[in-house]
Amino acid sequence: MLRVDNVSKHFAGSGKEQAVTAVNQVSLTLRHNEIFALIGESGSGKSTLAELIVGLQQPSGGSITWADTIVRPKQDRPTSRIQVVFQNPDRSMNPYWRVKDIITEPLRLSRYPKKQAYAVAEELLAKVKLPAELLDRYPAECSGGQKQRIAIARALSMSPLLLVADEITSALDPSIEAEMLQLLLALRQSEGMSILYITHRLETIAGFADQVAVMKDGAIQEAGDTKTILTEPKSEYTKALLKASSFE
């Protein structure tokens, strides 16, 4: 479904600053209905890779193939069925819009009748386990966990085959984080979609992700099935992450 082949991303330096390589020859494959976790500390290149995958940036080298179509920059995106949810939902929500308008924005941009879109919004809220009464609220009247679910509901409005979840649980309390992971598992099953789950918290992926890749300084340190990586890591960096986490 998604294939990343030797992808790199370089950013030019300004003045005397040297160019920065944010992503360095990364390759990975994400299959249908699979949850793939991308692990790494802040600054490892995870979010840049996510932006490349959804077409928000152009790779400096290599290729990203989605359903046999090369992913290109946002002005030439091959499909709306790749959706992304970022760490801070507030950055993608108009504070002056009600929740129902936020969720239905993609539908209305696709010329979906407003009345029908609002009916769909209630169904989408139900999918992310939120009550319909939230539809008439503003973002400021919702909790952080609720806003992240609203962002997921908006992504679901386009019936994605791939959901890129970039650090979506990092600002949540542990109990809310656990609920969010269970929600993603349920959506994978009910919507038949794949999930690229990006996080710095290695301990969250046990029993959740099928495959995992560990990223450092823009490069993949090791990758494989989650159980093997967590119990028999080969990379010294992965071992250090495990030691520093609460997984052990």
Task: Write the pLDDT tens digit of every residue in 7-27.
Answer: 999 998 776 678 899 999 999
- Asked if 200 and 41 touch (Cβ cutoff 8 Å), the reply is yes
Class of the CATH-defined domain 2-244: alpha beta
Q: Which residues contact 52 (CB under 8 A, 6 or more apart)?
A: 7, 9, 23, 58, 59, 64, 71
Give the residue extent of every domain in the chain: 2-244
| pLDDT of 135 over the 60 cut | yes
What does pTM read for this prediction? 0.91
Bridge partners, residue 223, by sequence = 213
Task: Write the pLDDT tens digit of every residue in 190-246.
Answer: 999 999 999 998 888 999 999 999 999 999 999 999 999 999 999 999 999 998 886
User: Using CA atoms, how far apart are residues 4 and 94, in angstroms rounded to an integer?
Assistant: 33
Pairing of strands 61-66, 69-70: antiparallel
Residue type, 120: V
The CA-CA-CA angle for residues 144, 149, 152, to 5°, reads: 130
The DSSP-derived string for 16-29 is TPPPEEEEEEEEEE
